[in-house]
Each structure stands twice: as C-alpha cells, then as structure tokens.
Structure 1
Amino acid sequence: MSTDDNDSDSGHCKTPDSDGEVAEEIAIVAFERKMETAEEIVDGIGDRYETIEILEYHGDVFEEHWGEYDCFIGLMASGIAMRKTAHLLDDKWDDPAICVVDEELTWAIPITGGHHGANQVAQDLATMGAIPAMTTASEAAGKQGVESRAKAMDAHVVNGDSTVQTNLAVLDDELGPVARLDGPQAVLVGDDVTVLERNKDDGVVIGTGSVSGANKETFLEAWEIALEQTDYAFADVEFVATATRKEDEEGLLEAADELGLGVVAFDKETLLAHEGPTPSKSKELIGWPGVSESSAIAGGREQELVLEKISYEDEVTVAIGR
C-alpha cells in the first residue's frame, strides 16, 4: 500500500468527499410501528454523523432515496432489505451501504458495503447493545482490512479494485506496513497495490507513548494539554500515532475511540528513522526511540514537530507533528 506522502516509511494501519470508507449521512428506514425504536437510534448514535434521518418504509423507499445517503439502517428483516435493494446494486464503491437491525436492537447486520460504512454503523449500534454480525473476511478474522487502515489514517482509497488482492494478503498475514512515498514523484503500481490519499490538506498528528495500563482519562487529559500549547485543536487531528509495542494499550484505544480518531502504529525501524530531538531512556534500555516524538514525525505530512515531547502525570507522553 502506498500513500501520497512519501519516504519509504511504514506503519500499520474514491473521493475525499464521499470517502468510500466512512458513512456520514444516514437514513433509518422503518415501518410505522417501529418508529419509536428508530427515534431511539437517532438519540443513541445520531451525534456521530453529519445527518441522520428517518424514512417511513414503503415498497419503493430505497429506490426513491438511492444515492442520497451513505448508509441505510434497515429496521426490518434482512430479507426485506435484500429483496428491495438487490436490483439497485451496481458498484460497491458507489452504492450506499446497508445495515439491518431488529426492533429489539439485538443484532446489527451489515448486508452490503461492510467496508464502506455498514460495519462502522454496526459498531455504532453495538454501543446501544446490538451485536454486530460482521461477515467481511478481514473483520471476521479479527484483522484490519485496507479500508479500515485508510479510515484510521484519515485517508481514502484511490484505486478500489486493488483492495481485493490487498485484503487477501491481510488474511494471509502477507501485507506489510503502509509504505510512505514523499513527492513530487511518479509512481507506477500494479493492480495489487492499494493507494491511499490523505483526506485533509493540512492537520496534525498526536504522537503518544505511555506506561503500561494508563487509563483513558489520562490520555485524554494529556492530549488536551498538549494541543493547548499549540494553535491546533482536536478537530485538526488526523489520527493518533504510536509504536507497535503500544498499539494494544486499552486506555489509548478507548481515548482515541471517544474522540473518533484512528490509531496508527509504527514499527521500530520507522521510528528509529524519525527519531525526535528529546533523549529517551527507552533507546538505551530496549533499543526503541522515544515513541511520542518519533511517531508524530513519522505520521506528519511535513514530518516536523509542532510540539516536542511533554510528559503528563509520569504516565503519558505526547508530541504533536504535522
């Protein structure tokens, strides 16, 4: 995989306006007798989207509103949604995603567009108690597909057809870290190379490290204090960057999730190639450079620091890169 920002760096992990991977405009299609549940969904997750509207079900409701929304939440049996939309499906990158949910909010089932919004909506419905029944291969195997990596990096997939091959490589554990190429330069890629492009023209990256077990609140407070020392706010953050040895820190993941940010974990070699100016004991002890500065530099578009490392409560370190 390659991004438009480049230098042989590596990190785990259609169009910028539609994004291809993120659902922002939602329609809940519900029978009249299920309107109360539809309102519950709006109240429960509506603030996560740009718009969320309720449409009363009738036989042609999907056809009438096809293309107006990124994702339909069908408050109905999956068979109804499938029969009423099958003839409308044309291209997975252009078609709206569809996720069905039962009236008791027991199951949330993506039936089309799993990687293009339906899985995301199912995960949001899970916060209301529904069990997300994801059948896309990478998610079913507990792995991060390339579309999910793009979302984590606040990027979008440029050449959608390539994801068939790259996601097969994900399943076989054969897809390496995201390669970064800094231009201007021309790059010739094959059909099995997925190209990612950033969604924002500018923005910053939160680079962060921590002691094991730091909780969500500590991360959030540390990040907020760091941003207050810059001209940037959480709205300007593209993603949170860290080291692969910290990518499973529960507090970090919970904090990023609360802010709606993806987490990108860089490997040791990448961080060593982008070591920051502040000395770190971890390099002497375990051979890793300071995580916060090196990950902020590696992830930033310009590969420079806005804020050098600060420490919060001796638990979390933060640097800001761009």
Structure 2
Amino acid sequence: MSTDNDTDSGSNSCKAPDSDGEVADDIAIVAFERKMDTAEEIVDGIGDRYESVEILAYHGDVFEEHWGEYDCFVGLMASGIAMRKTAHLLDDKWDDPAICVVDEELTWAIPITGGHHGANQVADDLARMGAVPAMTTASEAAGKRGVEKQAKALDAHVVNGDSTVATNLAVLDDELGPVERLDGPRAVLVDDDVSVLKRNGDDGVVLGCGSVAGTDVEQFHAAWDSALDAADCDREDVEFVATGTRKADEAGMLEAAEEWGLGVVAFEKETLTEFEGPSPSRSKELIGWPGVAESSAIAGGREHELLAEKARYDEAVTVAVGR
C-alpha cells in the first residue's frame, strides 16, 4: 500500500537530490502483519511530508529485496531485527538507504544507520506522533545543527559528503561559522574539510522575517500567508524562512516554520548589511542592524531581488519576500 504526493514518485529509486545529505523523499514502512494497523497510523501521521510512503509486509528477505528502492526504511520492529537483516547490505553511507526503527507503541524512534541521510528526518517527523527521537549523531546529541541539517534549511544538498566529518566537528566546537554564499558564474577551489552546498531547485522565494518577542505560531502563519498573497505566491513556492541571528531563537517562528516543513536560516549582521533593503529601518537607528525582513529576504534569494517590500502584520511580524 502506498501514498504518493508526486506524479513522478513511481520511479522508486534512491533519488533524493542529496544522496550526500539528509533528505528522504520516498520511504518504506516494514511491518509484521500484526502491526499493519500501526503502519497505517504512521502513513496517516507523516505521509504528507514525503513524496511516497509504502508499506511492506515483513519477511526474512524484505530489506534485501527492496534495497536501493527507497531513501529510508522505517522498521516497525525491534532494532536488533533490522540490524541483523541489513548489516550485510551496508556498503557506503553516502549511498545506502537510511534505516529508522520504531516500536509498536510509537514510544521511541531510533535512527540506526543514515542519521544524516534521512533517518533523523524520519525520527523528527515521528515525534509529531508522540515518539521520542533517540538520535546519537554527534551534532544532534549536542543540540547543534550539523552541516546536513543546515543544507536542508537552505533547500540545498552537500555535494562533497566526505567533507562533513571535518565540518561537523567544527560545528561541535562552535568553529564553523555561518554558511558562506558564492554566486556564479565562478570557479571555486576547496580543501577536503570544506563542505560545498548546492541548492536543489532553480526557483522559489524566501520569506524574510522579523518579529517581536513572544509572537505565536498563528501570527507567523497569518503574516506569511498575507505576504505571499501580496507577492502572488503560494506556500509551495517558499524555499525557506530567513532572519537575522538576533532573531534565530524565536520559538514561535521556529515552530511555525516546522509546521510548514520549512527550514530557518539566520544571517549574520555583516551579511544583512551587505544586502540591506530599501525601506527605512528603526532598528538601524537604534542598534545598527539593517531591517531584518528585507535584508534577509534579499540575502537568501538566489537572485538577491526583493519581490515584495516589508509589511507589518498584527503589530507583531514583519515579512518581506525575496527571490
């Protein structure tokens, strides 16, 4: 049984645009017959987040039979079973499908291979259903955002996956700094400890956003919808939400973006100053920061263009649209 959210999902290959990154588009839930009701619950609970979700009945060779057809297997079973049945299939972490196991009561979601290649993503999504994501990858365990997760927030993928060993260590030591952006046409020469991110799509818009402290999720959603309407765009057009580092921990914005399936990218003051928007900014006068909404929308857009100037909604959220 499957649910398809994309007419092109029938190819069923390990085709996530970043096989060196963490995105899983096509997943398979492997379940014993007695657990099929729970498998159906998982489809209902998280299926809208994937291009396709298929349920496979467990038998001894099910993983081997379907290896390479999906970006991530969700094993509705004990972790030991999944480990024993897939250990001999594992070859290269950049190419192998991810594996996440979950118990029948949906208490724990445990990535066992490919944490940064889809398993952590699935575990995070299962948390919406009450499961506790038990992640052991170093950056997540430390509560920090690894390079692969930063790539996802930018709707991008890591081109040179082996580099993330060094760059994620730098993340743990707070030494990596923000993602640097290079617009082409250019040629770039990098060492093995530099992760190169490439954006997945050719178009799309960026929501530049600022807010007052304590703004709730509904206010963000209403403001974003209004801004998109004004720009003649839809939610599906949004690549990510952009803001400034001083607003990066705004809980309502982070939760609102999560509910829309978007990442949040926070730009440093220097970057925002480089891409300062045309509208006057009170924050520039008071604290020396350019207006966050317009400058982050311009900085985040691939064309560095402002599609819609900033507007303030509900006296709480300021939004601009960039491309």
> So what's the TM-score if we normalise by structure 1?
0.94
Q: Are the counterparts in 1 of residues 209 and 317 from structure 2 also a CA contact under 8 Å?
A: yes
Q: Are the counterparts in 2 of residues 78 and 100 from structure 1 also a CA contact under 8 Å?
A: yes
Counterpart Cα distance in 2 of 1:302 and 1:273: 14
Secondary structure in 2 matching 1:120? helix
Structure with the greater relative contact order (CA < 8 A, sep ≥ 6): 1 or 2?
A: 1
Equivalent residue number for residue 51 of structure 2 = 50
C-alpha displacement of 1:18: 5.3
Q: Are the counterparts in 1 of residues 18 and 157 from structure 2 also a CA contact under 8 Å?
A: no
Counterpart Cα distance in 1 of 2:16 and 2:123: 23
Equivalent residue number for residue 240 of structure 1 = 241
Q: Are the counterparts in 1 of residues 20 and 160 from structure 2 also a CA contact under 8 Å?
A: no
Equivalent residue number for residue 7 of structure 1 = none
Secondary structure in 2 matching 1:127? helix
Q: Percent identity?
A: 80
Equivalent residue number for residue 138 of structure 1 = 139
Counterpart Cα distance in 2 of 1:20 and 1:63: 23
C-alpha displacement of 1:294: 0.4
Alignment partner of 1:61 is 2:62 = yes
Equivalent residue number for residue 16 of structure 1 = 17
Residue deviations 1:262-306 (CA, integer Å, cap 9, x gap): 000001111111110001111111111110000001111111100
Counterpart Cα distance in 1 of 2:189 and 2:19: 25
Secondary structure in 2 matching 1:170? helix
C-alpha displacement of 1:79: 0.7
Secondary structure in 1 matching 2:210? strand
Secondary structure in 1 matching 2:68? coil
Alignment partner of 1:187 is 2:188 = yes
C-alpha displacement of 1:16: 2.6
Equivalent residue number for residue 10 of structure 1 = none
Counterparts of 1:1-322 in structure 2, within 5 Å, are: 16=17, 20-322=21-323
Secondary structure in 2 matching 1:179? coil
Counterpart Cα distance in 2 of 1:164 and 1:150: 15
C-alpha displacement of 1:66: 0.3
Counterpart Cα distance in 2 of 1:71 and 1:293: 38
Q: Are the counterparts in 1 of residues 74 and 99 from structure 2 also a CA contact under 8 Å?
A: yes
Residue deviations 1:69-104 (CA, integer Å, cap 9, x gap): 111010111111001101111111111100001111
Secondary structure in 1 matching 2:180? strand
Q: Are the counterparts in 2 of residues 15 and 156 from structure 1 also a CA contact under 8 Å?
A: no
Q: Are the counterparts in 2 of residues 207 and 319 from structure 1 also a CA contact under 8 Å?
A: yes
Counterpart Cα distance in 2 of 1:294 and 1:189: 28
C-alpha displacement of 1:216: 0.7
Counterpart Cα distance in 2 of 1:25 and 1:185: 34
Give the unaligned 5+ runs of structure 2: 1-14
Counterpart Cα distance in 2 of 1:131 and 1:307: 40
C-alpha displacement of 1:19: 7.1
C-alpha displacement of 1:46: 1.4
Q: Are the counterparts in 1 of residues 71 and 98 from structure 2 also a CA contact under 8 Å?
A: yes
> So what's the TM-score if we normalise by structure 2?
0.93
CA RMSD of aligned residues (A): 1.2
Give the unaligned 5+ runs of structure 1: 1-13
C-alpha displacement of 1:15: 6.7
